[in-house]
Amino acid sequence: MIASPYLLYLGHVNDEVGIKTSRGLAVFRPDDCVGEFRHDDCELSLGLPRMGFAEAVAAGARTLVLGIANAGGKLGEDLVRDAVAAIEAGLDVASGLHNRLRDEPALVEAAARHGRTLHDVRDPRPDIPIGNGKRRAGKRLLAVGTDCSVGKMYATLCLERAMRARGMAADFRATGQTGILIAGSGVPLDAVIADFISGAIEQLSPPRDDDGWDLIEGQGSLFHPSFAGVSTGLLHGAQPDALVLCHDPVRPHMRGLPHYPMPGLRETLDANLQVARLTNPDVRAVGVALNTSKLSPAEAERLCAETADALGLPCTDPFSMGVDPIIDWIAKCFEPSPRKTTLSL
């Protein structure tokens, strides 16, 4: 277990998407976050107190979470240097980057010398099976997207919270570093060997018979040439009954690929439904989730209404507007079939 409270690392990052892990923890586990660490050239903030490592320890922090995301998930020299300083101040270190903390000699030596623990979140289980595509009991919803980092995790976490508030059985199933840190469990899907991706999701979301929902965090996009492979395996393993399409309406191009334009919403939805039908021919779309954080409230409401009209699906910003329209649609689409009764004459 990763000891809390946390000090959230922003470092030198000035890309909003680049601090998504730290931001996700600040939003969904605020009581476990005591502060943020950032250098002077970092202009971003989570609204938490800015602290140095010793100051954070004095405030009760137990773990520095390297909650940043960069191309390839690399541990740079600055990051290693900051992590060593945190260890020397008395903090454990947790990271979801592809480069493992345990593979950095300076970190291993510092942790051993100071009795601290290194947590590599992106370590998949060793017993992942190969997917088999067999139909399994229960209902599953998967968030899919036009691109990476468009709000798939936010959508599923907001759905879990709102469904539970209505008395529905619902469980968030994390598939990425941020979701795992928030939920405390999950599978780091982009670190799983390709042949086992669908099996990892079958394992993450086993059969259930309580009429509840598994809300599976999406990854990547079928339209992103760097990450479409993970998205495909996730669609097959999730065997989703329902899809929620997530989109950032102000993004000019695919993340990190200025030579690739964003796909259309209808195009994205149709492609995901087609791929998902391999393991669940009855899959259906139940809503659209827009990240409207860069729009005014009036612009956001107008865009959601236009999108709903164009696609014939409820559309909302899950974080700022709530997800009731999507849950209402789910209830209508998946209401229990009337029970048949047999009369004895």
Q: Answer whether residue 344 shows pLDDT above 50.
A: no
Secondary structure class of 221 (helix, strand, coil): coil
Same domain, 60 and 16: yes
Nearest to 7 by CA among 128, 126, 90: 90
Same domain, 102 and 150: no
Nearest to 333 by CA among 285, 296, 297: 285
Domain for residue 132, yes or no?
no
Same domain, 112 and 158: no
151 neighbors 291 (Cβ within 8 angstroms): yes
At 72 the pLDDT is 64
Q: Answer whether residue 340 shows pLDDT above 80.
A: no
102: which 2 tokens? 């345990």
At 69 the pLDDT is 80
Query: Which of 59, 87, 120 is a domain's end point?
Result: 120
Range of the domain at 100: 6-120
| CATH number (domain holding residue 54) | 3.40.50.720
Same domain, 182 and 324: yes
Same domain, 232 and 299: yes
Same domain, 79 and 143: no
Band of the pLDDT at 342, cuts 50, 70, 90? very low
At 70 the pLDDT is 74
At 75 the pLDDT is 84
| Domains in the chain, number | 2
Which DSSP letter does residue 284 get? Answer: E
At 336 the pLDDT is 66
Q: Answer whether residue 345 shows pLDDT above 70.
A: no
User: What sign does the dihedral 234-236-242-243 (CA atoms) show?
Assistant: positive
Q: Answer whether residue 341 shows pLDDT above 50.
A: no
Q: What is the mean pLDDT of the chain?
A: 94
Domain for residue 192, yes or no?
yes
> Tens digits of per-residue pLDDT, 21-68?
999 999 999 999 999 999 999 999 999 999 999 999 999 999 999 999
Residue % of the chain over a pLDDT of 70: 96
**Residue 242 host element (H or E):** strand 242-247
Same domain, 64 and 205: no
Same domain, 194 and 103: no
Same domain, 24 and 96: yes
Domain for residue 145, yes or no?
yes
214: which 2 tokens? 């598994």
98: which 2 tokens? 């592809």
What is the mean predicted confidence (pLDDT) over 4-30?
94
Same domain, 99 and 157: no
Domain for residue 125, yes or no?
no
**Residue 141 host element (H or E):** strand 139-145
Query: Which of 120, 155, 170 is a domain's end point?
Result: 120
Q: Is 317 exposed, middle or buried (0-12, 13-18, 19+ CB in 10 A)?
A: buried
Angle at 159 between CA 290 and CA 63, to 5 degrees: 95
Domain for residue 133, yes or no?
no
What is the mean predicted confidence (pLDDT) over 125-150?
96
| Residue 82, CB-side half-sphere exposure with 13 Å CA sphere | 24
What is the mean predicted confidence (pLDDT) over 301-309?
98
At 1 the pLDDT is 85
> Tens digits of per-residue pLDDT, 181-237?
999 999 999 999 999 999 999 999 999 999 999 999 999 999 999 999 999 999 999
Domain for residue 129, yes or no?
no
Residue identified by tokens 């931001």 is 23
What is the mean predicted confidence (pLDDT) over 305-320?
98
**Which segments of the chain does DSSP mark as H helices, in order?**
20-28, 53-58, 77-89, 105-114, 152-165, 177-183, 197-204, 228-238, 265-276, 297-311, 324-333
Question: 270 CB contacts (<8 Å, ≥6 apart)?
Answer: none
Residue % of the chain over a pLDDT of 90: 90
Same domain, 196 and 326: yes
Residue identified by tokens 């000699």 is 105
Domain for residue 344, yes or no?
no
Nearest to 330 by CA among 226, 239, 235, 215: 215
| CATH number (domain holding residue 211) | 3.40.50.300
What is the mean predicted confidence (pLDDT) over 312-330?
98
Same domain, 69 and 177: no
| Residue 103, CB-side half-sphere exposure with 13 Å CA sphere | 10
235 neighbors 244 (Cβ within 8 angstroms): no
Secondary structure class of 301 (helix, strand, coil): helix
Secondary structure class of 236 (helix, strand, coil): helix
At 54 the pLDDT is 98
Domain for residue 167, yes or no?
yes
